Structure 1
Amino acid sequence: MRIGTADSAVLLDLLDRRLVCALQVDGRAEPGRLAEVLGVSVRTVTRRLARLRETGVLKVVLMDRVADEAVGALLLRVRVLRGRVETIADALAARPDIPFVDIMLGGEEVSAVALTDRGGRDRLLHRQLPGTAAVVETTVHSVLHLFADAGQWRGGWLTEQEAAALAPAPPSTPPPLPDELDQRLLARLADDARLSAAALAAETGAPESTVRRRLHRLAAGGLLRTHATVDPRLLGMPVDANLWLEVPPGRLAEAGRVLAADPRVHGVVACSGPANLMAAVFCVDYEELYRFTTELLGPLGVHRVETAIVGRAVKRAGARLVEPGAARTGGRPPREGRSGTA
């Protein structure tokens, strides 16, 4: 397996891609289960997983209960002075209430998603961003409805049967109210969702049997939903675009459902503003993005499309991504904190 920079056209091989896609289905799947479904040895799975994670190419994190928090979330488009985009993107990515940050192609705009309370929203929009000299303009859209989120996207390298075999059981109980131990477990899994019960027991000081019961209860309540974070360019999809769409109100729900069902879409929401629908799309090349626009969007009666190309993904689902070149050396992104320009 060769791993290089995303710009070097060095891609993960077929087994690596299938392994990443398996973890998209269930990020906590045991190596034995992964090996059985993928048709390889447990040793191979263990070795590949270790290499992917140690290089920082793959990170499996807990996915927030986005469906509960999405409505009212903010979609930010921040225009920045040339040469300051990295500073603003890093400052936004350092905030725990901002799980998604992208630098758009051209280097003058940062796109972000903010899940924050009213106080945090007002501080960010009315004081922090306007008070930053590098910020030229901020456009804010509120999410009105969630059709699909990043946790539902699949890279497409598994068969339907393989994906079904790996799919975890749906939540069977209402979400539990986490106590102190649950919160400690969730906090550790938020950064590394593949930690075993034994590792969690060692870190928390709780008996392993207790940790296993707690994990089972949290999973049954839908609190262990995972997200396998990987640069889509390493899966053969180098074009990452945000499409801002104007759709007739009478066709908005239909358009959202159609887009959510398309395997190239990794997020779609109805939102406020002139563009009432936003879809995030991964494509193999620009020609495929063109076909997506003409063949899928055309029949939906879309009045207008603004296509914004992502130059670099900085943070996805709460996880900082390895910067170009860092994977080759085993480098890791900086730890997140609350400080920063924004």
Structure 2
Amino acid sequence: MQESTGVDRSPGMPEALDELDYQLVTALQTAPRADWRRIGRAVGVDATTAARRWARLTEAGLAWISCYPGMIEGVTTLPAFIEVDCAPGMAHEAAAQIAGDPNVINVEHVTGNRDLLLTALLPGQGALSRYVAYRLGRLEQVVATRTQIGTAIHAEGSRWRIDRLEGPTGEPSRDRLGQERLAQDRPGRGRGAIKRSDVELVRLLGHDCRQPVARLAERTGLSPTTVRRKLQRLDADRALIYRCEVARLASGWPVAVNFWGAVASAEVAEVAARLAGLREIRLCTSLSGPSNLLFTVWLRSYEHIQAFETELGRRFPTLAINDRAVTLWPMKLGGHILDPDGRHLRAVPFEAWQDAGAEAAQKDLLARLREQPGQQVSR
């Protein structure tokens, strides 16, 4: 089972990952839908052992796979990063309400100058304006919001690897060699768009992307041959974004920090490309605001925050860090609801945001704007 219904775990459920678990996660980060025979071969166990290990991790909420569309045919998707200020004592309640929105990928309770940091995907600037004004703005727990558009995504969570890849001598481990074989087996020719006819299949994959073809066929009403063909095309087009995640308490990288930085416009592309190559980077995006870069890092401990920022100053002398926020509770990550320790609770598959109340409110506003006589403005 991919989903879990609560934080209570059965007796004997693990609270940490062993070496084989880490290798299994690395293999699934490389080839999320590979069959258990191939996964097992990559990490040196049989298919039954690999499948049993994965079931054990998912049942404990320690690992899971996210799946959501990169682009949808005919839809311009606008990434937005929204800071939310909440009424005193209401941050968790606000986060819980927002986390159910299918267009919101991440909901983080953070330190610093905002209570919540949201990552949302909207079909254009009009929809983003409507979402901020008529969805977030009407929550009684929300006091204020500040929105920036992600103008270019340089790195995101699907590329991050937990990496158990080198043996004690520094030579490639069995895991590294297995991962390379999995990567070679997986086709791909660049990021493509989801066809509108595939949206329902993608929504079902959002619940559990390792569902067998027979189950997906039953749920979509398509034949297994058609489902298999669609999956092959989606994989070949790299149209889906997969993320094999590990609970924060078990990842070895328990501290997440968001940095807002600024560089000269002419340097953004170069600095962002170099930042994206750092081991600790989970997200790096250009922003529309005065801090024109936002990047998220995962670190080994809180003591590493200052050391990491010092190293940033050495490597990127023109990068000014304007603000930083430590994630306290990633209530939603990659479309999945998590507990305060980062363990998996349930999935919220991505869908385009629709809200009849917000649309009605905007129509009412437009009607009132049309009724108001225009004023002559001298120039």
Deviates more, 1:86-95 or 1:131-140: 131-140
2:24 counterpart residue number:
19
CA apart distance, 1:248 = 2.7
**Amino acid in the other structure paired with 2:51:** T
Q: TM-score normalized by structure 2?
A: 0.77
| Match of residue 161, structure 2, among 154, 163, 174 | 154
Deviates more, 1:51-60 or 1:318-327: 318-327
Work out whether residues 84 and 116 of structure 2, in 8 Å CA contact, stay in contact via their aligned partners in 1.
yes
| 2:229 corresponds to 1:213 | yes
Q: Secondary structure at the match of 1:115?
A: strand
**Distance of 2:254 and 2:18 partners within structure 1:** 15
| 2:55 corresponds to 1:60 | no
Work out whether residues 336 and 346 of structure 2, in 8 Å CA contact, stay in contact via their aligned partners in 1.
no
For the structure 1 residues 122 and 255, does the alpha-carbon distance in structure 2 shift closer, same or farther, using more than 3 Å as the test?
same
2:83 counterpart residue number:
77
Work out whether residues 80 and 134 of structure 1, in 8 Å CA contact, stay in contact via their aligned partners in 2.
yes
**Amino acid in the other structure paired with 2:104:** I
Output aligned runs, 1:96-245, within 5 Å. Answer: 96-105=102-111, 109-117=115-123, 118-159=125-166, 160-167=176-183, 169-172=186-189, 175=192, 178=195, 180=197, 182-245=198-261
**Distance of 2:76 and 2:193 partners within structure 1:** 20
**Distance of 1:277 and 1:224 partners within structure 2:** 25
CA apart distance, 1:86 = 1.1
2:171 counterpart residue number:
none
Work out whether residues 69 and 194 of structure 2, in 8 Å CA contact, stay in contact via their aligned partners in 1.
no
CA apart distance, 1:70 = 9.2
Task: Determine which structure has greater relative contact order: mean sequence separation of CA pairs < 8 Å that are 6+ residues apart, divided by chain length.
Answer: 1
Q: TM-score normalized by structure 1?
A: 0.85
**Distance of 1:11 and 1:107 partners within structure 2:** 33
* 1:282-301 residue CA offsets vs partner (Å, 9 max, x unmatched): 00012322222111343312
CA apart distance, 1:63 = 3.1
For the structure 1 residues 320 and 243, does the alpha-carbon distance in structure 2 shift closer, same or farther, using more than 3 Å as the test?
same
CA apart distance, 1:187 = 2.0
Give the aligned length: 331
Structure showing greater radius of gyration is 2
Work out whether residues 53 and 59 of structure 1, in 8 Å CA contact, stay in contact via their aligned partners in 2.
yes
For the structure 1 residues 297 and 205, does the alpha-carbon distance in structure 2 shift closer, same or farther, using more than 3 Å as the test?
same
For the structure 1 residues 305 and 315, does the alpha-carbon distance in structure 2 shift closer, same or farther, using more than 3 Å as the test?
same
**Distance of 1:174 and 1:233 partners within structure 2:** 32
1:88 counterpart residue number:
94
| 2:283 corresponds to 1:267 | yes
1:316 counterpart residue number:
333
2:296 counterpart residue number:
280
Unaligned runs of 5+ in 2: 1-6, 167-175, 359-379
For the structure 1 residues 125 and 335, does the alpha-carbon distance in structure 2 shift closer, same or farther, using more than 3 Å as the test?
closer
CA apart distance, 1:267 = 0.6
* 1:63-103 residue CA offsets vs partner (Å, 9 max, x unmatched): 32169989742111111123111111122211111111111
**Distance of 1:142 and 1:123 partners within structure 2:** 14
**Distance of 1:110 and 1:264 partners within structure 2:** 22
